[in-house]
Amino acid sequence: MPAARLLDLTRSLRRTGRVCTGVDRVERAYLDRFLQDRDVPAFGVVRTPFGYLLLDRDGLAAFRSRLNGSLAVGRVGAFARMALRQKQPQVQARTDARRHALARCLPGGLARMLRKHLPPDFDYYNTGHSNLSERMFTSVTSASGSIHVLIHDVIPIDHPDFQRPGTTLPFRDKMKRVQDHADRIIYNSADTRKRAEAVMQEWGRVPEGIVSHLGAIRPVPVKSELPDGLPPARPYFVTVGTIEPRKNHAFLLDIWARLGPNAPPLLICGNRGWNNDAVFTRLDDLPPDGPVKEVPNLSDGALAALVAGSAGSLFPSHAEGFGFPPLEALQLGTRVLCNDLTVLREIIGAHGTFAPVSDVELWLKTIQSWENTPPNTSNETVFAGPNWEDHFKTVLSLR
């Protein structure tokens, strides 16, 4: 029988009730797969403000139902109410996890709990860049487990200027602990592996690594979920992603300023992030009847509908670890214009159109051409993209 699997779900617990990011979806894909493989013992661990919870297969299924919103709301316990800083969905999810837990412990009891309840030689998977702590790693090792960590990117180390203040050093410390303790690192792209291993080479040990592209599930457009007034009546463009410096929204605002008042509509689909006051000011100063619109808080179905109906999806990002938005746009049959990043060429290849952001004229020319040229939406042009089945064949077949 394959080794038992222990999935760290700390990130999913903390982000319950929030819009899923790409990293969130990866952790949930692992949860789905481990529940699907019924011949392999499956467990989950979550870190809470009070210690750790251990879930068995039934607990994992209940946790997944909570993430899906299909679990009935239960009574919030006294311990959960003590964590007043957390929002109600997170408090409720933690209460449910406690209710369905196989075991629980204070921080100092983690290793003992794992030794008691998990079979020897289990595999611990951390896919969410969360709970990468010394205690977690040493506890797994002392319980005879192997440590497998999925690294999504090392952008905070490569590009510290794009990060929230105070986040670069903690991220570096996390990666140093991964370098010290991981038995195997799973990389979402060859580009991420190259960058991460270059960092670790400077520190000394480079753990065993494999590359396995993440799966992408074609989004489902739901036009009925679109806000009033959308989509625009004329050909329009979209850009998808949190409004943060790395995503380079300032570049698109400059492009649209060059295009002038008769420019096609540009829909900026994403919530405001951090460290981007100059761009926020420009967005606040946009004329209400101008071509550029900020469209936050869209449902997945509404976002897919806007992307699918657009003349093109624009992605001038300075750096990526994988790049779900351009991949998903291509799955919807939408043209994609990207900054010329190595990782995007790896993931979407010749299906995308690439232009370095240093070549403003090429961006202008492409946007103007696409505005006046309907996309070819025949089935032959739709990009399937990588899938989860192939990802797990690589990750799990080597165990």
Question: What is the residue range of 111's domain?
Answer: 5-216+389-397
What b/e string do you get for 234-272 counting C-beta neighbours within 10 Å, with b at 16 or more?
ebbbbbbbbbbbbbbbebbbbbbeebeeebbbbbbbbee
What b/e string do you get for 10-28 counting C-beta neighbours within 10 Å, with b at 16 or more?
bbbbbbbeeeeebbbebbb
Asked if 310 and 265 sit in the same domain, the reply is yes
In CATH, what number is assigned to the domain containing residue 25?
3.40.50.2000
Bridge-based pairing state of the strands 51-55 and 103-105: antiparallel
Residue 392's closest CA among 125, 19, 45?
Answer: 125
Asked if 259 and 183 sit in the same domain, the reply is no
Report the C-alpha gap between 279 and 257 in whole angstroms. 13
Return the structure tokens found at 351.
């299906």
Q: How far is CA 391 from CA 127, 210, 329, 350, in A?
A: 13, 11, 20, 21
Asked if 231 and 301 sit in the same domain, the reply is yes
Asked if 197 and 253 sit in the same domain, the reply is no
- Cβ burial of 68 (10 Å; 0-12, 13-18, 19+) is exposed
Asked if 207 and 59 sit in the same domain, the reply is yes
Report the C-alpha gap between 76 and 95 in whole angstroms. 6
Q: How many domains does the chain have?
A: 2
Asked if 211 and 344 sit in the same domain, the reply is no
Position of tokens 């399937």? 384
First and final C-alpha spacing in the chain = 11
Per-residue pLDDT of the chain (399 residues; tens, 9 = 90+): 789 999 999 999 998 877 778 899 999 999 999 999 999 999 999 999 999 999 999 999 999 998 887 444 444 344 333 344 556 667 777 778 889 999 999 999 999 999 999 999 999 999 999 999 999 999 999 999 999 999 999 999 999 999 888 899 999 999 999 999 999 999 999 999 999 999 999 999 999 999 999 999 999 999 999 999 999 999 999 999 999 999 999 999 999 999 998 999 999 999 999 889 999 999 999 999 999 999 999 999 999 999 999 999 999 999 999 999 999 999 999 999 999 999 999 999 999 999 999 999 999 999 999 999 987 655 556 788 999 999 999 999 866
Side-chain half-sphere of 5: how many Cα atoms within 13 Å? 27
